[in-house]
Chain A
Amino acid sequence: MAKATNDAQLLIQSLRKAYAATPTNLKIIDLYVVYAVLTALIQVVYMALVGSFPFNSFLAGILSCVGTAVLAVCLRIQVNKDNKEFKDLPPERAFADFVLCNLVLHLVIMNFMG
């Protein structure tokens, strides 16, 4: 039992150390992802309290948060220099694709929110 907690602590420490080594721009994207997921969770809690009456609004809100999180993860994948598959993709192109996809996503969200 003690070994398990020891292991867990060692694990968390090594995870933290490894994560600290990631470049800053990736950390910013990760922060954005965490923020989006937190917003989604807050919306779910709100819905649990208040009820889901305009269900389309609830769906629009949740899916917009999840959608931006997913798209940010995709951007992170494409911009990450350690990723060998995307080494000849200029980061500006990756960002432009990210913006385009977000535009489409938010257009649909605005339409669906009602």
Chain B
Amino acid sequence: MAKSKVEGSGSLRNAFGGVLSVFILLLIGVLAFSIRLFSVIKYESVIHEFDPYFNYRVTQFLSKNGIYEFWNWFDDRTWYPLGRVIGGTVYPGLTLTAGTMWWLANSLNIPLSVETVCVFTAPVFSAFASWATYLLTKEVKGPGAGITAAVILAMVPSYISRSVAGSYDNEAVAIFALIFTFYLYIKTLNTGSLFYATLNSLAYFYMVCSWGGYTFIINLIPMHVLLCIVTGRYSSRLYIAYAPLVVLGTLLAALVPVVGFNAVMTSEHFGSFLVFIILHVVALVYYIKGILTPRLFKMATTLVLTVGVAVCAVVIAILIALVASSPTKGWSGRSLSLLDPTYASKYIPIIASVSEHQPPTWPSYFMDINVLAFLVPAGIVACFLPLSDASSFAVLYLVTSVYFSGVMVRLMLVLAPAACIMSGIALSEAFGVLTRSIKFHINNFFVDSHTNTPATAKLGDSTSTESSVPHQNVVKSDTTAKSEVVKKEKVARRKQKKEKELTENALVKPVPAKKEKWPLVLPFEASFVSILLLIVLGGLYVLHCVWAAAEAYSAPSIVLTSHSHDGMHVFDDFREAYAWLRHNTEVDDKVASWWDYGYQTTAMANRTVIVDNNTWNNTHIATVGTAMSSPEKAAWEIFNSLDVKYVLVVFGGLVGYPSDDINKFLWMVRIGGGVFPHIKEADYLRDGHYRVDAQATQTMLNCLMYKLSYYRFVETDGKGFDRVRRYEIGKKHFKLTHFEEVFTTHHWMVRIYKLKPQKNRIRGKSKKSKLGTKSSSSKQGGITRKNPWN
């Protein structure tokens, strides 16, 4: 009678819990969406940065022309005169997703523009990602941990930085795909159902469509399978989880044009094939072990080993010969730069020059994952008690992502979900132990005041809804873990001492000798204070996340603001320049600038550019870099051979904008010098220092970048004081001979120059111009037109 009543109340509680968790998840989705809207509120609904403009342009094309045109699109507005095959070089997941959402909304007669859909894609998918985190953590540890992990992921600053409203980049969708794929893999591992294996392959396909980081999945999952085999956790569910994924996943990956045959030929995928073979061998071994008697099995192993080792050696030798024959051992440049952090700086300066590809500093860990940085170790400990396939996967995911985040700051994004899962597990376990202690003490208090015997039955009931088997070790290790956490808080000294005494007393106090297992609980005061402190910790985390989202990561970087004593100034120079280009130049005019601005120029100004952010052709970029580093005549020659009409430079010296072309100039020299040896970096440095003041070298003062940036700069304040470099410039009064200034924006941030056409008649004697870079311009295969000046 009492048991059924208890069961009834238990199921009612379960039902109530289920409804409550649905509402909580809904609220988490709303939270994830809203916290990313700061940039829309502070600025406007605009697309940020550089890469998103390319994705936006592709989505516009898709929505206008349909999917067949998109698939076969050859873009002739970039990388003039080479062009770019968009269909085969872009990861279509993001654009197809946004295009589908736009088409769906419009077919339901909700008139959203393409730009609105693009801007808000990232927040919508971050809500999906937090739900996926809930599902994944629920598979690893339980629904309580799931909800905690979901709410942590909704707010973690590292993920916010790449998915604010307006940041329309691959990661917006890819992180959701990553977490969802991992969830389906763990679900298949836990249930052994082929249905989930199919879904897993389809989710992996979506991930391959979305991001180049899919190689992380196809290497992490084989590593985990190997780990399970090596630690003796092989089971038939492992086979069902992995083998269909490899076959179906490879096929699906080969379907995406960007990947194509790389899915079977590059070293990034070899790991999965190797583990596929190993898995089959192990499965066969287990099968035969099941059939034979132990003695016969021993005979079989000795026989097979002698033959098998010889065969294996031959196969491995062939494989090594094949792989070693390719210069990069089959790995692509980007993967190599991840595995060997010094590779990029030695061989591929373009990869090394991107600021996102630098290793992160220690403070950036605290900025990006905040409190999670010290909740993660507690989570790792909690994962080991007890260790299951799913929790070993979570630990492996965390360890590998910590390594990769240490190589490139951009990959902290991959660390964020792992850290959130671990912290969710840690917090949930901590809360479980603490609330159990409080309940136990409250129960004991009431029971002792009524009867004399401690009610073990009541204790069993109150703890049955939580972890069923009491973990005595859990409490001990959580105590030590929590005392670490607690110590880091600002606790009063005497409280700390009191806690220490109490915990020692609790552990020393003899457990009443009953037949049933009693969960070890913490004393009442300690658990109460600990819960309060954990809530404060959570509050601090929320505060930090909201601050980071509002102040640090919401800048659209195409519009700049600054606060001064007379209010807020808005610098909209970029859009001003692109709008000028759009309205005042011919449709077919070519614009040359450094590759950073390529995507924005094609998207907003709608003009053909020479190089853009895709950086797939190093020689072309080096040509532009050489032109920027050469004197005016030589630069005119190079640009003329590329049919360039306008040159665009970004200059921050008047307002103090630090990411302008003069600060990036050394990279232009390095990249140009990597291909054209007459450009030497030492020529531009005075005693190893990069300066543009009176101490600068003649090469520096004569190069095109200097002249185009500082032309007429002395007219602004009479002295030519550069606010970024903080000194007066070297050459102040000079005229441009081969270029003419056509537009400078309001704050002098973008300056546009036109190439002067050749004069019709040659006045006076024409000297044969000895141009060192004539070889470079003839390398372009273009006509070397004689420059008639001088």
**Pairwise interchain contact B240-A66, C-beta atoms closer than 8 A:** no
**Known A15-B292, A74-B239, A77-B239: A97·B300 in contact at CB below 8 Å:** no
**Pairwise interchain contact A77-B195, C-beta atoms closer than 8 A:** no
**Pairwise interchain contact A78-B247, C-beta atoms closer than 8 A:** no
Q: Which residues of B contact A73 (CB under 8 A)?
A: 239, 243, 283
Could you say which of B198, B250, B283, B303 has the most chain A C-beta atoms within 10 Å of its C-beta?
A: B198
- Looking across the interface, which residue of chain A has its beta carbon closest to that of B242? A70
Mask, A66-97, CB within 8 Å of B = 1, is 11001101110110001101100100001001
Distance in Å from the Cβ of A74 to the closest Cβ of chain B? 5
**Pairwise interchain contact B198-A104, C-beta atoms closer than 8 A:** yes
B254 at the interface (CB under 8 A from A): yes
B299 at the interface (CB under 8 A from A): yes
Distance in Å from the Cβ of B246 to the closest Cβ of chain A? 8
Q: Which residues of A contact B195 (CB under 8 A)?
A: 97, 100-101
* Contact partner, B240, options A4, A11, A15, A74, Cβ 8 Å: A74
**Pairwise interchain contact B236-A77, C-beta atoms closer than 8 A:** yes
Distance in Å from the Cβ of B192 to the closest Cβ of chain A? 6
**Pairwise interchain contact B291-A71, C-beta atoms closer than 8 A:** no
Mask, B679-705, CB within 8 Å of A = 1, is 000000000000000000000000000
Of residues 289 through 304 on chain B, the ones whose CB sits less than 8 Å from some CB of chain A are 290-293, 296, 299-300, 303
Interchain Cβ contacts within 8 Å, total number: 97
Could you say which of A55, A66, A108, A109 has the most chain B C-beta atoms within 10 Å of its C-beta?
A: A108
Main secondary structure of the interface of A (DSSP, over half): helix
A32 at the interface (CB under 8 A from B): no
Q: Which residues of B contact A83 (CB under 8 A)?
A: 236
**Pairwise interchain contact A100-B198, C-beta atoms closer than 8 A:** yes
| Alpha-carbon gap, A114 to B255, bound state (A) | 11
| Alpha-carbon gap, A11 to B244, bound state (A) | 31
B529 at the interface (CB under 8 A from A): no
- Looking across the interface, which residue of chain A has its beta carbon closest to that of B196? A97
A10 at the interface (CB under 8 A from B): yes
Q: Which residues of A contact B202 (CB under 8 A)?
A: 104
B104 at the interface (CB under 8 A from A): no
**Known A14-B296, A74-B243, A98-B194: A8·B303 in contact at CB below 8 Å:** yes
Q: Which residues of B contact A56 (CB under 8 A)?
A: 254, 261
**Known A11-B299, A100-B198: A105·B243 in contact at CB below 8 Å:** no
Distance in Å from the Cβ of B396 to the closest Cβ of chain A? 23
**Pairwise interchain contact B292-A18, C-beta atoms closer than 8 A:** yes
Q: How many residues of B contact A (CB 8 A)?
A: 34
Q: Which residues of B contact A97 (CB under 8 A)?
A: 193-195, 198
**Pairwise interchain contact A108-B255, C-beta atoms closer than 8 A:** yes
B264 at the interface (CB under 8 A from A): yes
**Pairwise interchain contact B247-A105, C-beta atoms closer than 8 A:** yes
Mask, B247-260, CB within 8 Å of A = 1, is 11011101100000
**Pairwise interchain contact B254-A59, C-beta atoms closer than 8 A:** yes
Q: Name 11 A/B residue pairs within 8 A (Cβ), A-sorted.
A: A59-B261, A63-B250, A63-B251, A71-B194, A74-B239, A74-B240, A77-B239, A98-B194, A101-B195, A105-B251, A108-B248
Known: A56-B254, A66-B247, A105-B248. 14 other contacts (CB 8 A): A8-B303, A10-B296, A10-B299, A18-B291, A59-B264, A67-B251, A74-B240, A74-B244, A78-B192, A94-B194, A97-B193, A101-B248, A108-B252, A111-B255
Q: Which 7 A-B residue pairings sit nearest by Cβ, starting from the closest? A: A97-B194, A18-B291, A67-B247, A77-B236, A70-B243, A101-B198, A97-B195
